[in-house]
Every structure is written in C-alpha cells, then in structure tokens.
Amino acid sequence: MLKPNRGRSVVQVLLGVTLLVGTVTARESAHGCPAEGVSYGVSLKQAAEHVLHVDAVTRKPAAAFQLPVWNALYQVRDFAVNVNHVKAFEGLPAWLCNGCDTRDARTEKRDKTTWNLSSSGDHPCITFSYDITTDDPGIFGSSLDSQHGYFNWAQILVYRPDQRNAPVSIRLLDVPHEWRVRDGGVFGSRSAEELAYIVAAAPSYDRLVDTPALLGKLHETSFEQDGATYNVVIDTSEADLKPLQGILQKITAATVEWMQDRPYKEYTFLYLVAHGSGSGGMEHAYSAAIDVSTEYLRRDVLNVAEISAHEFFHAWNVKRIRPQSLEPVDYTREQFSRSLWFSEGLTCTVADIIQMRAGLSDEKRSLAHLASVIAGLQSHSARQSQSVEESSLDTWFDPYPSYRQPERSISYYAKGEILGFLIDLEMRRLTNGRRCLRDLFQYMNRRYAQQGRFFKDSEGVRLALEDLTGNDFRNFFARYISGTDELPYDRFFDYVGLTLTHHQSEQAYAGFTTSRTPGRPTAIVRVDENSAAFRLHLVPGDVILEVDGKAITGDFNQVLQKRNPRTQVHLKINSSGEIRELDLQLGARKIDQYQFEDFSEITPAIRSRRSAFLRGEAEAGAR
C-alpha cells in the first residue's frame, strides 16, 4: 500500500498511466493548477441519490467544455441531459486547496452539450463544476447507488475540445470506506483508504474514457500467464471465481497463441452481476466489461465463455486493428463506418475459433452454433435489400423498433460472423490450405496495429486478402459485402465436406415480436392482431420484465424455444410505467431450422481439413 509522502510526490507508472500521491500532481504548478489538460475531482457523497459531483479544473484561458453525446454504443444518447447545477469559478476547489479564495466566473451554454467559459480575474485556474445523475445500470451506462458504482467516464466527464490529447488526472472523493475501485489501469485496484490521497493520471482524455471503473465490495482474483497479469473482478461475493478463472486462462492462452502477439502487460475482466440486463459486453484496450447473470454462472460457467472470448479478442480487433472511419473519435455526432461487419462480425468468428482451440467447444457444438446464426440471417428478408456494409452504417438506427424488423434490417454481427467463415474457406481454397483467417488477422496486426496505422475499412480488408492469397477479391466483396447476393453456403462448405440442410418445425409463438438492443430492455415491437397477446392489450413499447417468475436475461426467443406450443406462460410487463402481470396462451408457428450434415463419404483428408478450419489454423502438409 502506498502511503502519502508529505515532502514530495510519489509516482508509479502503470500501463501508460500514472498514479501520483499527494494533493498536487506532477503536471500541476505551485498554484495547484494543471500546466495543461484537466484535473477532475469526482465526489460520491450523494451515492444514494445516484448523483456525482464533478469539478473540472483547467488553466486559463479555457474557451469551452463539452460532454460526449455517444459512448459504448453506436447510439446518440446525449449524456448532457443528466447534467445539473452548472457553475464556474476562478480558483481551485476545496479538495485541491482548502480555504483558498475563489471568484465566480461566467458560463454560457452554446448548444446541448457545450458550455463556454469566461472570466476576468488574475487567477491562472478556472473550475467548471456540475452534478450529474448516473442511474443507467449495466456496462453500457454509468450507475451509482449505495451498493456499487460503475463509471463510463465519457458519460460523466467533460473535456476541453482544444486539449483533448493533453494529460488528465482524476481523484475520487468521498468513497465509502469498505469499497474498492477496479479498472483497466488508471486506478488499478485501490481501497477507499488509498483513494483518499491518490490522484490517477492518464496521457489523454481518450485513454481515460477507455478505462471504465467498477466500485463497491468487489470480489477479485488474478493469474499470471506468459509474463502477463490477468485480473478477474466481479461485483458480488456470491460467485465462485475459480471456474471462471479456469475458463479465462484457456481463452487468453489460446488467443495470444493464435495471434502470436500480446499488446499489454496487464488485462482486467470486469463482470457486473444483476445490475444490468444480464448479457452484453464492452471492449477496452486493457480491459473488458461484461454483464452476466448469477443464474448463468450458477447453471454453467461456460455460458460466459463466448462473450468473454469475444470481448477479449477486441483487444486486437477494434481497439488496435482499427478502421480509419473510427479515428479520431468524434464525440459530438454519429461516426459512421462501413466495416463494423469486420470489427464486430469477424470478432464473433474468432471467438468461435478460440473456444475450439481452448477446448471449450467441439465440432458438433460449433457447427450447431453456426447453423443457428445462419438461420437467424435467413429469417430476415432484409438480407436481400440491405448489405452488410449498409447494416454497419445504419447501426445508429438501432434504438428505433421499426428499424429492427426482419424485413428492414440485418445484423452485421450475424452476417459478419458467417462471412468470417466464408472468407476463411475461400482463402483455403485459393491457397490449397496454406492461408486462413489467422493469417489475415496476423497480417492486419503487423501492418496496422503494430505500426499505429488504421486500415481503410472494407477496402483495407480486401487488399489484405489479395496480398495474402495473390487473388482478386473484388467480386467477392461486390457480391457479399457491398452487395446483397444470397450467400452460396454449399459452394463454400463443400471444401470441408459439409452441406447445409433446412427443414420446418413447429415452435411456440407469443403473438408478438421483440427486439433487444445492448443496454436496453426486451421490448415488444409488433403485435399480431389475431393473437392472444393482442386480446390482452399488449402493445409495441411494452417491456417484458419476467417470464414465469424469472427475469429476462437474454433473448426472449430463446426463452420461447424452451416452451411448448399451445401452453401458458406468466408474464410481468412494464406498460408505460404500469406493471402488469398476465397469463398468455402461446400459439404455434412454423420456422425454418438449419443444420450441417456430412457428405455421404468423408475422407481422412477432408476430415483433417475440417478440423483445421474449425480450429483456425493452416492445413497439415499444405504447400
């Protein structure tokens, strides 16, 4: 434990950020005023009311402060709507200089998220002060109550547009004495006692906001692997971390070996339990934040393997192998990209491969999962009208229920995941098994991530494939990525002795369709007028809270798959603020189901090919 050194500052460098002990950071002048950038003080005194108090201290002249309009999700969420009691003054707040004189300064709101500052005094420093409500549980939001806190800093902290790349520092104030803070490298792991005198610093605002913090009575463990430290943190004492740690050890080892690279010395997995929807994850350069449910953990810890593998691989794909369209980040408006099919969809592909390599999945399970993803895509008629690039661009429409209808849009996650496997198979076919998806990601990592460069969206991926295989991929991209041609599954999977079949089966039908966007509850988007649901006056916008007494922790359709047609379920609904409980008689409908089947005769060579394909590695003896 670091103790305050009254005579001089004590500095500890960690993952590109700095911890400074004392009341004045190394970048602050004798006045306590930062030489550049912003020093933040964040008070948790009003935790029970979900309110944080923020002081943003900077050197004059400071023309303006802004708060981002989006973060974590590709959705404009206007975080400034939660800001209240704005004021500014010349001088330092009490936590930096207790008893020092201050003088009121002028603030003028320029637009919904920007405040102009002006002052006429001679103090070198100006402080921008405000309260902000944090009551959006889950890893895509920020929340604070008397039991815990989770902070996505871009949703809380303003920045100076003219100094976004300057160093920043942050101090947490009034932290309950039994709490700890855990993040991916700004604070690290600190007790409330340590936080009383520690100022954490980051090289830029962008680095700080890429490091969310979890606070409360945390349960954590860590492990060492090939020279790196991995931390596993969960905000409940009810979970047994040993099985989870065992899975993560396999995932991290398999991924690092597959990439032949490790771009960090320390990495942190943050798991939030029972505070959000129960599913979803968010990637960061040195950490991942994942919503899980205690039911999932209790039933089978393998339930979190897929999402953990997905978010972990984002440490390469998205955080470092990054499209030019997402750089630099524009916090003031939507930031459009055509390549989310690659950044997110192919991350799903790799997560499947990593689970195979880690021994957490097998051929049967992997192929069944892929068939279910294909079934999901094929059930959306919009696949014939919206390309996967257009789906990437249109992700900003996700909050609108009408957009999420199967005749209106497809998922770039789902089609991107499928395309990842098809690209892999095409690489193998063109190179006689010498090249595969692993080569593509190692190439992108060497050429872009390790050189601090960004790739040119879909074109950059295409050029990499052409360089690796010596073949032209323009037709492939024009038909399946920029275009909406039907994916010829059998033509691709023939290479590994598989054919895709489909048949119809009867499934329970609730009489309505739902949509679930990460960070948002499961909501009804359409009701069939000839259904029992319509007769019970269910309407679009109603939120499903529980089914048969259990909270919805995943896709409602997955819940329905476990129910028999023409049986009854008990629903708890939030209808425009009114909580309703009702018994719903399920109907039945025909759905298309897909599955992979072997060729009638499978040679040892084809079986070896398939094994290499599912494990994401070059084929044995390929030349």
pLDDT tens column, 582-614: 999 999 988 889 999 999 999 999 999 999 999
What is the Cβ-side half-sphere exposure of residue 413, based on CA atoms within 13 angstroms? 11
Q: Is there a contact between 535 and 278 (Cβ–Cβ < 8 Å)?
A: no
Confidence of residue 516 (pLDDT cuts 50, 70, 90): low
Tell me what the mean pLDDT of segment 122-128 comes to.
Answer: 93
SS3 state at 172 = strand
| 249 vs 332: CA distance, rounded Å | 39
Angle between helices 437-447 and 346-357 (to 10 degrees): 120
pLDDT of residue 1: 25
Sole residue written with tokens 């948790």: 44
What pLDDT, in 10s, does the model give residues 319-371?
A: 999 999 999 999 999 999 999 999 999 999 999 999 999 999 999 999 999 99
Share of the chain above pLDDT 90, in %: 79
The pLDDT tens digits of the residues spanning 303-317 come to 899 999 999 999 999
Contact yes or no for 348/374 (Cβ under 8 A): no
Among 17-26, 526-535, 547-556, the range with the most confident prediction by mean pLDDT is 526-535
Top-confidence residue, 273 or 497: 497
How do residues 187-246 score in pLDDT, each as one tens digit?
A: 999 999 999 888 999 999 999 999 999 999 999 999 999 999 999 999 988 888 999 999
- Gap between the Cα atoms of 228 and 267, Å rounded: 8
Q: Which residue, 608, 621, 527, 531, is CA-closest to 575?
A: 527
Cα dihedral 240, 246, 247, 249 in deg (nearest 10): 130
* Range with lowest mean pLDDT among 46-60, 346-360, 552-566: 552-566
The stretch 272-301 carries a mean pLDDT of 81
Residues 6+ apart with CB under 8 A from 143: 50, 134, 135, 136, 137, 149, 150, 275
Q: Answer yes or no: are the C-beta atoms of 521 and 277 closer than 8 Å.
A: yes
Lowest mean per-residue pLDDT among 17-31, 63-77, 473-487, 598-612: 17-31
pLDDT band at 31 (very low <50, low <70, confident <90, very high): low
Q: Domains in the chain, please, with CATH?
A: 10-217 (2.60.40.3650), 218-304 (3.30.2010.30), 316-495 (1.10.390.10), 503-592 (2.30.42.10)
Mean pLDDT in residue range 418-438: 98
Helix 412-431 / helix 457-469 crossing angle, nearest 10 deg: 20
In whole angstroms, what separates CA 539 from the centre of its chain? 30
Q: Which of 378-387, 516-525, 561-570, 597-606 has the lowest mean pLDDT?
A: 516-525
**Per-residue pLDDT at 23:** 40
What average pLDDT does the segment 63-69 reach?
95
Q: Please tell me the pTM assigned to this model.
A: 0.90
Q: What is the mean pLDDT of residues 546-563?
A: 82
Task: Report the distance separating Cα 312 and Cα 347, nearest Å.
Answer: 9
Average pLDDT over residues 12-20: 42
* DSSP 8-state code for residue 427: H
Q: How far is CA 393 from the centre of its chain?
A: 18
Instruction: Match 């708890």 to its residue by tokens.
Output: 572
CA atoms within 13 A on the CB side of 169: 26
518 pLDDT tier (thresholds 50, 70, 90) = low
CB 531 within 8 A of CB 587: yes
3-state secondary structure of 5: coil
